[in-house]
Amino acid sequence: PHLESCDRMHTVCPMRCGAEFEKRFQQKHRDEDCPKRQVICQFCELSMLAETESEHLDACPKFPVPCPNKCSKKEVTRETLQEHLDSDCLQQSQPCPFANYGCAHTGKKQELPAHLKENQITHMELLCVAVKRSEEARNEKERLAAELTKKLAGIERRIACLEKLYGPQLVWRIDSYQERLAEAKSGKKTTLFSPPFLTHRYGYKLILSTCLYGDGQGRGEYMSVFLSICKSENDPLLIWPFGHRVTIWLLDQCEDVKARRHISYSLKPNTCKENRPFLGRPIGERNASFGAVKFVRLETLNTLDYIKDDSMFLKVQVDCEALVSL
């Protein structure tokens, strides 16, 4: 029938682009007009739908672009433009290679050889100044480092010194324990005295004493420990009455340091008026002593390593935080 072959009959695009045309134009539409036809980018040879071509051309890396410096080079594309400007565009302005050393010149690449030639001496001078400056900076750094090292060594010495000063003020070893205990028990010699010691440099002079078989109410059951303040040439400079926290330890001599179970007694002297005979500035050689009558039970002394090789250690630490420094 005529209708099937009539080329004036209207038809729609088989690519579904939405166009409607007389059948005789179908080939032209398919090859030239249809937005859904395949086209190939003439620059990068990528295949795409015709309707996306103009968008592609705006981004195509092979698309030719003019050099913004209007130089004579023609083969610059979007993707090679930056490289062209950076390396071979003779019209591109760039700073002098001596810019870091202070040359303010900026000029076209082709003018650079002339600039370098004309300014050899200036450039040399700039270099000299820069080298001298960096040498000075290095010397200054070395000087500072040496100074710091020296200071640090001094600080380390002082810390070591302070650690000794502020470590325990007394570690007192009592030898021949059994013999001395027997003497205390018999009443021949009930009290032992430590050598006098200072709470800190130019500080209070103290003495530790112990009754190995106990004193007063503790006798026969406890070992007692006492402190007493001795008269010293520093006394006029110190604050009275004595009010610093004192801790007395019986040290466990167990070889395994972590397993040691020291026994301690700590007291913060009460500086009330009634305690003046103990804590006030000494009038005689030595104040009345204060401490713990029931410091440790006698049977406890036979446990662990409180007594080893017939010796015991007592330690005293005075809290010096509140001390005034002279």
**Would you tell me which residues interact with Zn ion (CB under 5 A)?**
6, 8, 13, 15, 17, 19, 34, 41, 43-44, 60, 67, 69, 71, 89, 96, 98, 103, 105
Closest to Zn ion by CB, 8 vs 164, is: 8
CB of 129 to Zn ion, least distance (A): 14
Peptide bond into 241 cis (omega under 30): yes
Angle formed at CA 306 by CA 302 and CA 311, multiple of 5 degrees: 100
Closest to Zn ion by CB, 71 vs 316, is: 71
CB of 81 to Zn ion, least distance (A): 9
CB of 128 to Zn ion, least distance (A): 15
The phi-psi region of residue 222 (left if phi > 0; otherwise alpha if psi is between -120 and 50; otherwise beta) is: beta
Pull the structure tokens for residue 113: 């050889």
Closest to Zn ion by CB, 96 vs 208, is: 96
Q: How far apart are CA 92 and CA 85, in angstroms?
A: 6
Closest to Zn ion by CB, 72 vs 325, is: 72
Number of CB atoms found within 10 A of residue 211's CB:
22
Q: How far apart are CA 102 and CA 95, in angstroms?
A: 11
CB of 116 to Zn ion, least distance (A): 7
Closest to Zn ion by CB, 43 vs 240, is: 43
Closest to Zn ion by CB, 13 vs 292, is: 13
Full DSSP string of 212-244: TT--GGGTTTEEEEEEEEEP-TTGGGS-SS---
- Long-range pairs for 194-201 at CB < 8 Å and ≥24 separation? 194/170, 194/314, 196/230, 197/169, 197/170, 197/316, 198/169, 198/232, 199/169, 199/244, 199/318, 199/320, 199/323, 200/165, 200/166, 200/169, 200/318, 200/320, 200/323, 201/165
Residue located via tokens 């009930």 = 190
CB of 147 to Zn ion, least distance (A): 39
Closest to Zn ion by CB, 58 vs 321, is: 58
CB of 52 to Zn ion, least distance (A): 11
CB of 43 to Zn ion, least distance (A): 4
CB of 25 to Zn ion, least distance (A): 11
Closest to Zn ion by CB, 13 vs 223, is: 13
